Amino acid sequence: MVRMNRRHFLHQALTLSAALSLRSGWASAGQTAAPRWIVMNWGFTEMALSLGIVPVGVSAPAWYRRLYAAPALPAQVTDVGLLYQPNFETLRDLHPTLMIITPAHGMARAQLATISPLLTLDNNSKTPLVQAMKNLQQMAAALGRPERSQRLIDQANARFEQLSQTVAPYKDTAVYLVHAVDVLHVALFSHGSLFDAVLQRLGLSNACTMKGGPEGAVLTTLDKLATAKPGTVVLLPSYPQVDDREVLNSRLWQSLGMLHASNIVHMPTGLDPSGGVQTAVRFAEFLVKGLVKLAKETRR
């Protein structure tokens, strides 16, 4: 009789323990369940990933992977269509808890709002680095974890300060931020671009003073560099194509003294001018490394 009571007691205790564990697991899962975000901008996708959020859907994710080296976008993320022409059936099937859009999605806003709450972030600012930090903060606020964005911003500011000290000896160096479009044309990034904002944070001077478009880019002919004031050329990655050897090896490029190999800092692929804070930091790191290396080679 005693053995039966003991067995019954143990059975009841184990059953109760299992139930409590399962309930605790449900509560924990409810508190930490990953948000189901859909992001319709590649720069915003970078920001979400840097906050530790893997979106359930992204516009044209293959293009994000092509233009951004980091953070990596996992393979399971669903393609929800073009940037400004999403597949509404796919959006609904993903059951998002939040969709992150830009002001350019305004015409579709009413329809998108029937699917989930919306967070509209500005991706067209005259102060892109400041705006990127604000966007990061708004995302973290939507997540309910404002400390995540503050940690990233503090780390970025500390890194900019450290790099500015490293590059201090080269602060009199005028820099041209050049993107090769084709054999005859280049885009120069001027005031209003993310990369120019990084130059300012590092205490460097942008040699291009022309007014740029929405991303601070100025399209001009290559021969304009022949008459431009002296400066170091920071050659940004060509996109969407990656291999720009045909352009760089052309007779026209080779004829311009400013484009001599000893005067060029080559930046790696995966740095998009529409990027966020992480892109800005990576750009700063590669830029400073390139300038220091170029200066050492010049002194030899």
Going from N- to C-terminal start, the domains of the chain cover 37-155, 170-299
Instruction: Please indicate whether residue 100 or residue 254 has the higher confidence score (pLDDT).
Output: 100
Average pLDDT over residues 219-233: 86
- Rounded to two decimals, the pTM is 0.85
CB 155 within 8 A of CB 239: no
Tell me which of 1.10.1040.10, 3.40.630.10, 3.40.50.1980, 3.40.50.300 is the CATH number of domain 170-299.
3.40.50.1980
Q: Token pair of 91, please?
A: 């959006």
Q: Token pair of 128, please?
A: 């892109």
Instruction: Tell me what pLDDT residue 6 has.
Output: 42
Whether 37-155 shares its CATH topology with 170-299 is answered yes
Average pLDDT over residues 168-188: 89
Instruction: Tell me what pLDDT residue 9 has.
Output: 39
Q: Which helix (H) or strand (E) holds 288?
A: helix 277-299
pLDDT-derived band at 242 (thresholds 50, 70, 90) equals low
Instruction: Tell me what pLDDT residue 248 has.
Output: 80
pLDDT-derived band at 209 (thresholds 50, 70, 90) equals confident
Helix (H, G, I), strand (E, B) or coil at 169: helix
Instruction: Please indicate whether residue 247 or residue 95 has the higher confidence score (pLDDT).
Output: 95
Instruction: Please indicate whether residue 10 or residue 279 has the higher confidence score (pLDDT).
Output: 279
Superfamily of domain 37-155: Nitrogenase molybdenum iron protein domain (3.40.50.1980)
pLDDT-derived band at 259 (thresholds 50, 70, 90) equals confident
Q: ∠ at Cα 192 (269, 224), nearest 5°?
A: 75
pLDDT-derived band at 153 (thresholds 50, 70, 90) equals very high
Q: With 0-12 CB in 10 A as exposed, 13-18 as middle and 19+ as buried, what is 120?
A: middle
Average pLDDT over residues 1-27: 37
Segments of the chain assigned E as strands: 37-39, 57-58, 78-79, 98-101, 118-120, 174-180, 185-189, 205-206, 217-221, 232-236, 264-266
Q: Is the pLDDT of residue 3 over 50?
A: no
Cis peptide before 268 (omega within 30 of 0): no
Instruction: Tell me what pLDDT residue 118 has.
Output: 98
